[in-house]
A and B are shown apart, each in its own frame.
Chain A
Amino acid sequence: GDSVTQMEGPVTLSEEAFLTINCTYTATGYPSLFWYVQYPGEGLQLLLKATKADDKGSNKGFEATYRKETTSFHLEKGSVQVSDSAVYFCALSITGTASKLTFGTGTRLQVML
């Protein structure tokens, strides 16, 4: 079945450090890929997405590139801020009448001053 594997956290960084959160997937079809962010006490918000191979999704300084050859969608940011502290979820969906998002287990990021 479809699955998403993301690196375990927590990830603790100093402000302005470079961030990478790894995400790999297995899928029976041709998935769309997503990163969601969950701030404390809130629901999930769509951060970025990519729908085909080699597409790069970007938002708020975060980027991720859809790599079909390595089945990966790693999240990166060049300089993190304290306000980026949150839980990040990688997800995939296969379009169809039963298309549901399959989520990874989430990675908690804590950014320190």
Chain B
Amino acid sequence: EADIYQTPRYLVIGTGKKITLECSQTMGHDKMYWYQQDPGMELHLIHYSYGVNSTEKGDLSSESTVSRIRTEHFPLTLESARPSHTSQYLCASSELVRGYGYTFGSGTRLTVV
């Protein structure tokens, strides 16, 4: 079944640690996105990609980085986690077709202590 997977679902980590949030999709979508969702529910686009070797920063400035070496894989990395990075991170993918919309993963809830 075509889907999009995020791991881990929950992560508690200490300040200063390096972390990578994984996102993989089996639908062959070219476009992928990372959103940060604050406790007030609002979604903020932090990174997106149009395809392999393409990455762009989103509307909200983020200290995280992303890579797109394979179509199906779009990991997000924080080199040195801080408590201000505590949030829910959502990955999504889409086709470049009018009205297609996004398919979202289940999210990673990150807590930095």
* Chain A interface residues toward B at CB < 8 A: 32, 34, 36, 38, 41-46, 49-51, 87, 89, 91, 93, 95, 97, 99-101, 103, 105-106, 108
Our pick among B42, B50, B104, B109 for the contact of A44 (Cβ within 8 Å) is B104
Chain B contacts of A49 at CB under 8 A?
99, 101
* Chain B interface residues toward A at CB < 8 A: 6, 33, 40-43, 45, 48, 50, 90, 92, 94, 96-99, 101-107, 109
In the assembled complex, the Cα of A101 lies from the Cα of B106 at a distance in Å of 18
In the assembled complex, the Cα of A59 lies from the Cα of B97 at a distance in Å of 21
Our pick among A41, A42, A101, A105 for the contact of B41 (Cβ within 8 Å) is A105
Expressed in whole angstroms, the minimum distance between the Cβ of A68 and any Cβ of chain B is 15
Expressed in whole angstroms, the minimum distance between the Cβ of B12 and any Cβ of chain A is 16
Chain A contacts of B99 at CB under 8 A?
32, 49-51, 93, 95
